[in-house]
Amino acid sequence: MAYISLEGLTKRYGDHVAVEALELAVDKGEFISLLGPSGCGKTTTLQMIAGFVEPTAGRVMLDGAELNKVKPNRRGLGIVFQSYALFPHMTAAENVAFGLEMRDVSRAERDRRVAEALALVGLAGYADRYPKRMSGGQQQRVALARALVIKPSILLLDEPLSNLDAKLREEMQIELRSIQRSIGTTTILVTHDQSEAMALSDRIVVMNKGRVEQVARPDDAYARPASAFVANFLGKTNLLAGAVEQDADGPVVTVGGLRSPAPAGAVPGPHIIAVRPERLSLTSGPGISGSVKIRVFQGLHWLLQIDTEAGPVTHVRPNDGSPIPTEGQRVTLTFAAGDAAILPAGGAS
């Protein structure tokens, strides 16, 4: 049985459906990210789990018990908000201790657990420092320690790294994942940053317009998107006009002059063929023909924009010393059979 279950979870505001019939099962110790653009319903979902928003329909289950009627402060959840929500008049240690005080934990036990929590997030020497004298990354660590010190059944993270600069955000991603793995707390993260979700998560839940588009491991969702939306949202992708045809040896994908084996069971007819830029390669044989429109040097690789018979294509070429096509040059592209996702035609929402 799943540790956390969202069963038909729905939230409506009048005629607007913020979250519609969401189904999700989370195992104990798992790190899950709710990922999607603004307005997709991910924060509303987190708030329903936390108890801050009452569902219109459906249930939140934790270890077999329904949480719908349990008050937020009785759910035993640790929450880290986007703003960190630290008390400015309290030291780091006092901020971390606040939840324990509300639970009437003894002073000796409180001091011990606060010291452990600060050490866990790398702030052992900052107990007496006030938030205004701490960097954004240090404040984020205090907020995380405050959430963890109560030993929550679930850790809920609402865009906790969005206020940090790019370098610090990357460092904190590694730190956060390391801490979560070391303590094994079941964690649900809300983010609009696909790189962050893929770096941190065991599985990602890609949401769009209140609905779940795909639940999968990050590498699976990236390589095998379930929809054009997922393909577009998770990094760069090429959505090419193609088709599946039945050949004597089985179904084949056709894109321009390229014919490649299709997965068993692929339905014949027009389709969108999704291929990542790094999965395309240049060929002297049959393939997708086109002309290089723009080439841009980006250090580790070259980025090529190519106008092809199947539509505009982005191709990434590694900077490995091999010749790079010039602007205006005719080229032919190909891809391996397992590197393309076959999506319904007209589904690029």
Residue 345's pLDDT band (cuts 50, 70, 90): confident
pLDDT computed for residue 277 by the predictor: 94
For the record, the structure tokens of 20 come out as 């519609």
Which regions of 83-182 does DSSP assign to beta strands (E)? 154-158
User: How confident is the model over 88-113, as a mean pLDDT?
Assistant: 92
Residue 347's pLDDT band (cuts 50, 70, 90): low
pLDDT computed for residue 263 by the predictor: 78
pLDDT tens-digit profile of 180-236? 888 899 999 999 989 899 999 999 999 999 999 999 999 999 999 999 999 989 988
Inform me whether the pLDDT recorded for 305 exceeds 70.
Answer: yes
User: What CATH code would you report for 236-344?
Assistant: 2.40.50.140
Closest CA to 348 of 231, 192, 211, 223: 231
- Cα 184 to the chain's mean position, in Å? 19
- Cα 59 to the chain's mean position, in Å? 23
Q: What is the C-alpha separation between 347 and 344, in angstroms, rounded?
A: 6
pLDDT computed for residue 294 by the predictor: 96
Of 347 and 252, the one with more pLDDT:
252
Return the exposure string of 216-237: e unless at least 16 CB atoms fall within 10 Å of the residue's CB, then b. bebeebbbbbbbbbbbebbeeb
Closest CA to 46 of 29, 26, 63, 28: 26
The domain limits of the chain are: 4-228, 236-344
User: How confident is the model over 68-85, as a mean pLDDT?
Assistant: 88
DSSP line for 258-289: EEEEPPTTPPSEEEEEEE-GGG-EE-SSSSEE
Tally Cβ neighbours within 10 Å of residue 35. Answer: 29
User: How confident is the model over 81-92, as a mean pLDDT?
Assistant: 88
Q: What is the mean pLDDT of the chain?
A: 91
User: How confident is the model over 51-78, as a mean pLDDT?
Assistant: 93
pLDDT computed for residue 190 by the predictor: 94
Inform me whether the pLDDT recorded for 9 exceeds 70.
Answer: yes
Q: What is the largest CA-CA distance in the chain?
A: 77
pLDDT computed for residue 171 by the predictor: 81
Superfamily the domain 4-228 falls into: P-loop containing nucleotide triphosphate hydrolases (3.40.50.300)
User: How confident is the model over 103-120, as a mean pLDDT?
Assistant: 92
Q: Identify the H or E element spanning 340.
A: strand 340-344
Residue with tokens 């590498």: 219
Alpha-carbon radius of gyration of the chain = 24
pTM of the shown model: 0.86
Inform me whether the pLDDT recorded for 348 exceeds 60.
Answer: no
The alpha carbon torsion through 111, 113, 117, 119 (nearest 10 deg) reads: 60
Residue 164's pLDDT band (cuts 50, 70, 90): confident
Q: What is the C-alpha separation between 127 and 111, in angstroms, rounded?
A: 11
Q: What is the C-alpha separation between 131 and 95, in angstroms, rounded?
A: 9
- What's the angle, vertex CA 65, arms to CA 42 and CA 34, rounded to 5? 15
Closest CA to 186 of 160, 148, 216, 218: 148
Residue 30's pLDDT band (cuts 50, 70, 90): very high
pLDDT computed for residue 257 by the predictor: 87
